[in-house]
Amino acid sequence: MSPTVTKSPPTLVPPASPTPASTLLLPLSSIDRAVNSRLSVECIQVFSGGGGGGGAAAAMREGFARALVPYFPVAGRIVESVSGAPLVECSGDGIWFVEAEADCALDDVNQLERPLMIPREELLPRPPPEVKLEDTILMAQVTVFKCGGITVGICFNHLVFDGQGAAQFLKAVSEMARGLPEPSVAPVWSRDAIPDPPKIPHGGPPPSSTAFKFVISVIEISSESINRTKNDFAAATGDKCSTFDVVTAMLYKCRAKAINLPPDAEVRLCFAASTRHLLHGVLPSVEGYYGNCVYPAGITRTSKEIDNASIVEIVAMIRDAKEALSTRFVDWMNGGAKDNHYNMPLDYGTLTVSDWSRLGFNEVDYGWGEPSYVFPLNDDVNIVASAIYLKPPAPKQGIRLMLRCVEEEHTLLCSAMNC
């Protein structure tokens, strides 16, 4: 018999006390507008230890209501009176909130490991049918399992937050739910402080967006394997490299080999790097800023070049791309960029990677401890190959890769990660 999740109708949780009036319209930054268009990012926090019990939903409601006072824009809605110029209307409506109960224990559904034994739609909140999802800024669902375990499903609008910013907001919610008087980090909006450089023409037709049939897979990379490559890199270069550098090099090489494009075909690696450290002196305070603070970095090589390169050599390529990012981002802010780096080809040769292991979602404690596992659920995005780096469920170490980067015919070689 399949597990059943019983949901309450979605209700609004408004700020706990008055906030600025609905006549206040807040601009979004040039980075917010460049990064994405109203994409709803979906993720699940799994609390296998339980502890929230029947009071979990009430504590979460209180946490959201109190956090929405200093974070009052999150209680608003996205509006767009002029095409391409979205704003946040500080309506004070609140966030949509759903309470749910599952008729099973987390162990009965394999702790929500892939493949999911509960449909993703059952774990995520949705607004009422008449409400446009793309106009909402954040929604939450608390699901209590028979074992006392809890999942928190979050949908946040990428136009308003990047991953680090959304995690910052949830930390504030958790602090309010635990009874703290105010968030430990004061929120900073200040989107208009970020320069708005002139738009760069595309210089050709818009990129195609073919829908691929990506297969979802999960791979564990052990700490031992990562450290071995770090040691190899140090021995060859005398420098240190990061876990991200090592895992990305492994994945880039393996996927390039797996998809088996012609030797002279381009294989591209793209990743978004945080630029918060480059905004000191631009923002009134970098700490507390919860808007998009990322800029794309990447590598383009031929399939043959990546196939012939060693992991150490690819690590060096990744480090070079990261080091060049500072100059490119500053050029972009100053209007000196010659290319629109936010645009990239969306063909099968492109791989995007995103590191969720250090954003902060794993350090959120609503009152029953930190989550044992956090993972995204945007399973319907099929236009570009992606890999997301996660902390594996406790007590495992290393890095977990959630892959949606190859079609069925290329899964075996990529899954082996032994290229």
- The 10s digit of each residue's pLDDT in 47-78 is 998 766 668 999 999 999 999 999 999 999 99
Please give the pLDDT value at position 391. 95
Whether 210 is in a domain gets the answer no
232 & 91 share domain: no
Domain of residue 241 covers 217-357+373-416
- Given 158, 341, 347, 355, the catalytic residue: 158
Can 93 be counted among the known catalytic residues? no
**301 and 158: one domain?**
no
Q: CB–CB of 151/377 below 8 Å?
A: no
Instruction: Give the CATH number, domain containing residue 282.
Output: 3.30.559.10
Known catalytic membership, residue 158: yes
Tens-digit pLDDT profile for residues 273-283: 899 999 999 99
Tell which residue, 269, 278, 299, 282, has the closest CA to residue 385: 269
**Catalytic position from the list 135, 196, 307, 365:** 365
Please check the confidence at residue 415 and state whether its pLDDT lies above 60: no
Verify that 122 and 72 share a domain, yes or no: yes
If asked whether residues 111 and 225 sit together in one domain, one would say no
Is 158 among the domain residues?
yes
Q: Indicate whether 147 and 21 sit together in one domain.
A: yes
Residue 209 lies in a domain: no
| 3-state SS, residue 337 | coil
The number of distinct structural domains making up the chain is: 2
Q: What is the pLDDT of residue 210?
A: 76
Same domain, residue pair 55 and 180:
yes
Structural domain ending residue among the three candidates 193, 209, 238: 193
pLDDT band at 360 (very low <50, low <70, confident <90, very high): very high
Q: Are residues 189 and 253 in the same domain?
A: no
| Chain mean pLDDT for the chain | 91
Same domain, 334 and 277: yes
Instruction: Tell me whether residue 277 is in a domain.
Output: yes
Query: What does the pLDDT look like over 373-387, one tens digit per residue?
Result: 999 998 877 889 999
Q: Residue 134, CB half-sphere, CA atoms under 13 Å: how many?
A: 8
If DSSP codes are grouped into helix, strand and coil, which group holds residue 147?
coil
pLDDT given for residue 333 in this prediction: 85
Q: What is the helix, strand, coil percentage profile of the chain, to 5?
A: 30, 25, 45
In the predicted structure, residue 122 carries a pLDDT above the cut 80: yes
**229 in the same domain as 176:** no
